[in-house]
Amino acid sequence: MTGRAPQVVVVGAGVIGAAVTYVLSSAGVRVTLVDRGPLGGGTSSRCDGNVLVIDKDPGYQAEMAMLSQNLLREWAGDLGDIEYRRPGSYLALAGEDEEEPARAWVDAQCREGLAFRYLEYEETHRVMPDLAADVPGSVYSPTDSTLNPLAYVAALLAKSRHRGAQVRARSPVAEIRVEQGRAAGVGLADGTALVADAVVVAAGVWTPAVLAPLGVRLPIRPRRGHLVVSTKGPRYGDVKVMEFGYLMAKFGRERVVPPDVERFGVALVYEPTRAGNFVLGSSREFAGMDTEPDPAVLHAIVKRALRFYPGMARATVLRGFAGLRPWTPDHVPVVGPVPGVEGLYVAAGHEGDGIGLAAVTGRLIGDFILERTPPLPVAPLAVGRFQEETAEWA
């Protein structure tokens, strides 16, 4: 790929494909981004916009998230108004039994150099006066930020187009073309062939289906999540709050909670938006590709929110919806080259962190394609690391 700017096709115009396209087009690469549906119409339009370190395992995952936060700060100046703010975030404890694990979580993150703090009762209720009186404490991460995910994707695409990227909606990719062991482009469902030196598959939960005809198997599964949106009206603080049990739900650890909360993997997420309403989350279930909202799950989310914010009984719900997180068995995304097919890359499997990790993912794919040094070790992200899981399907 020397001598002229490479030509790259990116499959999937969610936040990940958009970030990859933004990085590549900013570096002068000729990029064509294709999506089978409307732009940004997949999971990236069915989520909240948190850019978090607070919920990442200490070590590699937290380091990756911090890198992404720092990149996003740089990008925010270029992207215009994406409702980007940096209020930090909090994990509220449901009971005294969570105090010890919460303090251990803070210690582990601090040992890795992150500025987490454990807030005692008084400080917790001073910062979050609407919390239920029996919340014993909280965890605080000062660097966490938030944005409007729809505006983020739209801004990445607009800037990419401005830098010469071609962006095509309603253009399903039917095949990835491989010639002599190299990715040669893609074939669209209408018969159009797009020729390229490299292909990046960023198709979220649909990534395994896009790659399957090449014999590439990835254990990315749809982990459904519901959200509830309030009308504009009373708010319950301007800071973003999750419950400490969110970590347990995310990593599938044991929790002592009501049966519907346990069954649907519900944990409080309270996210005030700039528009004046708030978003409540969320749930975690393996329910296939179904995105039809389930009233029982929405009910469990509201009930859980009332446990932490009793005053919310006065709020009005506007709507609820569900999206599909691209889950991987080790909760780490898949970012890198596909072994055996030169010029073919995957950027997928970000589960509940794709908005936050889009910037670092775009940067890494850019580094692979442009043969630059990546800012962190890439082995934990490797496409080939799931041999055990995929062997079970053979």
Ligand X SMILES: Cc1cc2nc3c(=O)[nH]c(=O)nc-3n(C[C@H](O)[C@H](O)[C@H](O)COP(=O)(O)OP(=O)(O)OC[C@H]3O[C@@H](n4cnc5c(N)ncnc54)[C@H](O)[C@@H]3O)c2cc1C
Binding positions for ligand X, rule: CB under 6 A: 11-17, 34-37, 41-44, 46-50, 172-173, 202-204, 206, 210, 225, 227, 281-282, 323, 325-326, 348, 350-356
53 or 135, CB closer to ligand X?
53
Residue 74 pairs in a beta bridge with none
Closer CB to ligand X, 37 or 142, in the complex: 37
* Residue bearing tokens 């993912």: 361
The dihedrals phi and psi of 49, each to the nearest 5 degrees, come to -115, 40
Of 152, 16, 159, nearest in space to 84 by CA: 152
Please report how close the Cβ of residue 24 comes to ligand X at its closest, in angstroms: 15
Whichever of 49 and 58 has its CB closer to ligand X, that residue is 49
DSSP state of 45: G
Taking the complex as a whole, how short is the minimal distance between the CB of residue 254 and ligand X, in angstroms? Answer: 22
Residue 277 pairs in a beta bridge with none
For 70, 211, 239, 250, the CA distances from 51, given in Å and listed in that order, are: 10, 28, 13, 16
Integer CA distances (angstroms), 57 to 88, 116, 234, 325, 347, in order: 17, 13, 34, 18, 20
For ligand X, give the closer residue by CB, 11 or 151.
11
Nearer to ligand X, 225 or 343 (CB): 225
CA torsion through residues 233, 235, 238, 242, sign? negative
Distance of closest approach, residue 133 Cβ to ligand X, in angstroms: 28
Helix H or strand E encompassing 76? helix 60-79
Decide the pairing of beta strands 89-92 and 344-348.
unpaired
Distance of alpha carbon 301 from alpha carbon 299, whole angstroms:
5
Residue type, 105: W
Per the structure block, which two tokens stand in for 61?
């995952």
Report the nearest approach of ligand X to the CB of residue 97 (Å): 26
Least distance (Å) between residue 262 CB and ligand X? 18
In angstroms, what is the minimal distance from the CB of 178 to ligand X?
A: 16
Whole-number minimum distance, CB 247 to ligand X, in Å? Answer: 14
Which C-beta is closer to ligand X: that of 210 or that of 365? Answer: 210
Smaller CB distance to ligand X: residue 35 or 63? 35
